[in-house]
Structure 1
Amino acid sequence: MDVIKGAPFSPALTGALLYTLTKAPDQFRGPALQHLGKYLSSKNIGRTVTALKWLFALGLARNVHLWLSDIAQNNFRLWSERHRYDWSNEVAVVTGASAGFGALIAKGLADKGIKVMCLDLADEAPDDMKGNSKLVYYKCDVADRQAVLDVAEQIKRDHGEPSVLVNNAGIIYDHHTLDVTEKTLHRLFDVNIISHYWTLQAFLPDMIKNRKGHVVASASMASFAGSPGLIPYCNTKAAVLSLHEGLQQEVRVSYKCPEIKFSIVHPTFAATNMTASWRKELADSKVTVLDPNVVAEAIVKQIISGKGKQIILGAEIGFLAGMRGWPHWLAQTFVHLGDRKADLAQMGAERTGG
């Protein structure tokens, strides 16, 4: 389906059609025009050629735009850093790895031959992770700085220095701003954003020393727009985006290490435990709910590519990423139109696992 949707803006397709109808040798162009003439008048054939010219130009401009965006996100390095990695000897750390996105990411990386250190609050690994020699489980509260530093030392001592860090752990609460408690607010920020600082302090210095590493952050479409009832959660995801953008620059400028890659993923609603209690509301609103495997596979693929990227999953609301650049009247009009659907967040409980 995606291939069909993208066909009109594929320069390979529109360029081939345009060449066939205008520049190809007579033995090819003649029969093509003759066949097309059975369905279209000569005037409409001319319009078709004009349309193909525009589609070819727009498709070419789009591809150049995507290429420039790709190299910009990789510090304008034209090549991938994939050659630096020997995946069978690499170590990755995934937080919030006992369920949800985290578990799927950990298993996906293990399938690529990477040894994965799985961090979470559960006393032991889930049954479906046991017995896999590539998955090593550590009980760790990533919101506790000392606990993170301690487990990092144990990981380095027993398995080596990690070259991949996936900050996936996350929780969500449905509290309006005036009702949120001090305890809830601190826990939300501690897990969703402060923990990133602790894991970065534990593992990023070795990546800088080795001039090799990939840091991945699990964010959300909430990074770009707040939603009534979820404002504190949205604040944490906006902070994750800000950290990601600033850290990439800091590592390049302050530590002179453009080889380290940074990726951040912004999925829309996904079928994990975090959305289980409001699945009906999502279905009623006709919002697309992603398969968690789609999110995990995108992250694993990005890591293996050796390139950094901002990944937006959920095409129908992907425009939110650029909404802050809209004129205020247009952005606020859209927000007001979405008021009826904005109160989906009736959760009522803390959930872990990304």
Structure 2
Amino acid sequence: MFNFRSILKILQFLKLLIFYFFESLISFILPPCKKTFAGEIVLITGSANGIGRQIALKFARLEATLVLWDIDDEGNEETRRLAQENGAKRVFAYHCDCSNREEVYKQADKVREEVGGVTILINNAGIVLGKKFWDIPDEDFEKTLRVNFLSQVWTCKAFLPAMMTYNRGHLVSTASIAGLLGLYRASDYTASKSAIIGMLETLDWELYYAGKRGIKTTIVCPNFVNSKLIRGYQSQCPLLSPVYEPEYVASKIVSAIQKEQFYLILPPTLRVLGFKTFIPRKIMLLILSCLKIPNSMDKAFGRKKKH
């Protein structure tokens, strides 16, 4: 039997449920005011090119201090130069192999000493090999997981404690649509992106339960992006499976951070992937075959190298 206390708990739950529903509805109809970034310290991994560079250039115009991490020193210096040309007053470029735990912690200490406490962490570094599961050597599979996923574990562990102390900060992780569905010729990449989504969802839950609601989380899941990762990929059905330019994705990421958006899925129509377990697997495979994604992946990664 329900006692009075149980009834009160149910009523309290229903009240919050209704409140959060209408809060989300109002936010959808009337987006909240975008926050500013003056005084924020933004660290971007994988900043030497592609989406990482474009994110840096977007933030350069918003009065934020930029910290750039990459193993490509030449490309990273170019990003630093371009950011300064675009208005950034303080830009710091560091060589950092984010897949190396010791190096991440060492460089994190250096950033805290030379720049200050990171308030917005954008984990963007990543690789994709484009091989079928049975063709991926063990060491390459491990490398993909270290670069794409474990790097984000190390950076979050390095910078989250200070955010928790002040109950202020923002964790941003570039995952992928592949993390929601799987990607032909990319079992290692898919595994790493699925792990990112799962970790960030859980971390957000833990922060919420710990009362650290001043720390926001944004999980980015774009479709194919025209960058060095997917070299030569050309969509066979651009209307349903578009290929985005890095600048466009970067602008959407910055906007999502401003609006404190939890998921950023590009294109938005692919939100339906959240219901994939309700779709019979044969029908899902038929849809993917009609999109001819395997053909595009074979053309991008299955070409014989010219000697």
Larger Rg: 1
Tell me which residue corresponds to 2:245. 291
Distance 1:314 1:81, change over 3 A: closer
Equivalent residues in 2 for 1:250-289, closer than 5 Å: 250-253=206-209, 255-279=210-234, 282=235, 284-286=236-238, 287-289=241-243
The CA deviation at 1:92 is: 1.1
Tell me which residue corresponds to 2:3. none
Q: Deviations over 1:325-354 (max 9, x none)?
A: x14x2x4313223235241323449xxxxx
Tell me which residue corresponds to 1:339. 289
Which of residues 18, 38, 41 in structure 2 aligns to 1:91? 41
Contact kept? 1:219, 1:264, Cα under 8 Å: yes
Contact kept? 1:98, 1:120, Cα under 8 Å: yes
TM-score (norm 2): 0.80
Distance 1:189 1:304, change over 3 A: same
Tell me which residue corresponds to 2:55. 105
Equivalent residues in 2 for 1:15-164, closer than 5 Å: 67-68=23-24, 87-124=37-74, 125-130=76-81, 131=84, 132-164=88-120
Tell me the SS of whatever aligns to 1:89: coil
* In 1: Cα distance, 2:206 partner to 2:25 partner: 19
Q: Deviations over 1:290-319 (max 9, x none)?
A: 1222211111122233x2420111145442
Distance 1:69 1:216, change over 3 A: farther
Is 2:189 the partner of 1:222? no
Letter paired with 1:336: L
Distance 1:66 1:312, change over 3 A: farther
Tell me which residue corresponds to 1:300. 254
Letter paired with 1:291: E
Q: Deviations over 1:32-58 (max 9, x none)?
A: xxxxxxxxxxxxxxxxxxxxxxxxxxx
Distance 1:342 1:129, change over 3 A: same
The CA deviation at 1:81 is: 11
Structure 2 stretches of 5 or more lacking a match?
1-19, 303-307
Tell me which residue corresponds to 1:234. 190
Letter paired with 2:132: H
The CA deviation at 1:133 is: 3.6
* In 1: Cα distance, 2:56 partner to 2:166 partner: 23
Tell me which residue corresponds to 1:247. 203
* In 1: Cα distance, 2:206 partner to 2:77 partner: 37
Distance 1:202 1:80, change over 3 A: farther
Contact kept? 1:98, 1:122, Cα under 8 Å: yes
Q: Deviations over 1:231-250 (max 9, x none)?
A: 22111111111011101011
Q: Percent identical across equivalent pairs?
A: 24
Tell me which residue corresponds to 1:28. none
* In 2: Cα distance, 1:195 partner to 1:69 partner: 35
* In 2: Cα distance, 1:70 partner to 1:109 partner: 27
Q: What RMSD in Å do the two structures reach over aligned CA positions?
A: 2.6
Is 2:274 the partner of 1:321? yes
Letter paired with 1:345: M
The CA deviation at 1:107 is: 1.5
Tell me which residue corresponds to 1:190. 146
TM-score (norm 1): 0.70
* In 2: Cα distance, 1:195 partner to 1:146 partner: 11
Tell me the SS of whatever aligns to 1:93: strand
Letter paired with 2:186: L
